[in-house]
């Protein structure tokens, strides 16, 4: 990144940290995470028994929502304010504009995640803190993937209201309805779908990949077999590849679209 792109990163970070919706949702996440830790501490529960799985559920709901909100106006917001042409007239390449917006908003997202999980770690008992720290990196990857999707949606549309509608629909689809669809598939087929197929369908969704990876880390490899669902986690190389694809592919697509699209 050049000097101009770094200045854009700084500007994006400052603007996003003042976003009231991001602040409200991040504060709610921190409050609920703190409550989970305090409850687990009062009941003398281990992180792997209750606190970890509960925080995984909270993170899989709140982090994608915050990330999509952060990304939904990245490009279309500039277009509606008629500042996109001015921004692209700066001595900076178009892919650097997308990258700067992504990085600046990712830093703001990292702060929101740090606030929520930091509060949980702070209120956890000493023996649980090391376990809960394992959540930080996967949660950042989850947020980065959904932020990248939000930026892509912002690049595809011409109105901010449309982008906002799309990110809400995307959140419901990937966080809620996707898993319900898989359960419906298993019910309709009477469980005849191959476990490998179910495993693939779960892990190609970033929210599903996050839940599977963290639930098995906290509750053991047989956590889903007890529910009659045999889903094997992907190997380390496949996991890294999936996260890399989800984070980089939408950002790269956004850069290509902005490069090809005529800005008026």
Position 229 scores a pLDDT of: 53
By the 8 A CB rule, do 108 and 16 touch?
yes
Residues contacting 170, CB < 8 A, separation 6+: 68, 149, 150, 153
**Structure tokens belonging to residue 187:** 């019910």
- Between 253 and 53, the more confident residue is 253
Mean pLDDT, all residues of the chain:
85
Mean pLDDT of 119-145: 86
pLDDT at 41 over 80: no
pLDDT at 47 over 90: no
For residues 81 and 68, give the distance between their C-alpha atoms in angstroms, rounded to a whole number: 20
Position 264 scores a pLDDT of: 58
Widest Cα–Cα separation across the chain: 61
Each residue's pLDDT tens digit, 50-91: 778 888 889 999 999 999 999 999 999 999 988 888 888 888
Position 245 scores a pLDDT of: 96
Burial of residue 140 (CB within 10 Å: 0-12, 13-18, 19+) is: middle
Mean pLDDT of 28-32: 87
- Between 178 and 192, the more confident residue is 178
Position 227 scores a pLDDT of: 47
Position 182 scores a pLDDT of: 84
pLDDT at 45 over 90: no
Cα–Cα nearest to 167, from 148, 142, 139: 148
For residues 48 and 250, give the distance between their C-alpha atoms in angstroms, rounded to a whole number: 34
What DSSP state is assigned to residue 45? -
**What's this model's pTM, rounded to 2 decimal places?**
0.90
By the 8 A CB rule, do 154 and 75 touch?
yes
Cα–Cα nearest to 182, from 169, 193, 170: 193
What DSSP state is assigned to residue 189? T
What DSSP state is assigned to residue 133? G
> How large a percentage of the chain has pLDDT more than 70?
88
């Amino acid at each position: 990144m050049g000097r101009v792109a770094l200045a854009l990163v700084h500007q994006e970070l400052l603007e996003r940290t003042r976003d009231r919706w991001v602040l409200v949702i991040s504060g709610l996440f921190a409050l609920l995470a703190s409550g989970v830790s305090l409850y687990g501490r009062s009941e003398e529960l281990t992180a792997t028994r209750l606190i970890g799985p509960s925080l995984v559920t909270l993170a899989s709901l709140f982090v994608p929502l915050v990330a999509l909100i952060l990304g939904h106006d990245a490009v279309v917001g500039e277009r509606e304010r008629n500042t996109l042409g001015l921004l692209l007239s700066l001595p900076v390449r178009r892919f650097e504009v997308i990258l700067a917006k992504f990085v600046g908003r990712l830093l703001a997202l990292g702060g929101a995640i740090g606030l929520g999980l930091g509060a949980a770690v702070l209120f956890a008992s000493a023996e649980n803190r090391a376990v809960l720290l394992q959540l930080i990196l996967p949660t950042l990857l989850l947020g980065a993937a959904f932020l990248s999707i939000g930026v892509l949606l912002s690049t595809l549309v011409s109105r901010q209201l449309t982008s906002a509608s799309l990110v809400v629909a995307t959140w419901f689809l990937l966080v809620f309805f996707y898993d319900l669809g898989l359960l419906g598939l298993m019910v309709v087929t009477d469980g005849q779908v191959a476990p490998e197929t179910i495993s693939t369908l779960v892990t190609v969704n970033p929210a599903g990949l996050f839940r599977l990876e963290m639930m098995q880390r906290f509750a053991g490899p047989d956590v889903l077999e007890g529910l009659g669902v045999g889903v094997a986690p992907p190997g380390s190389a496949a996991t890294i590849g999936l996260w890399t694809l989800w984070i980089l592919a939408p950002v790269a697509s956004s850069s290509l679209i902005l490069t090809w699209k005529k800005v008026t």
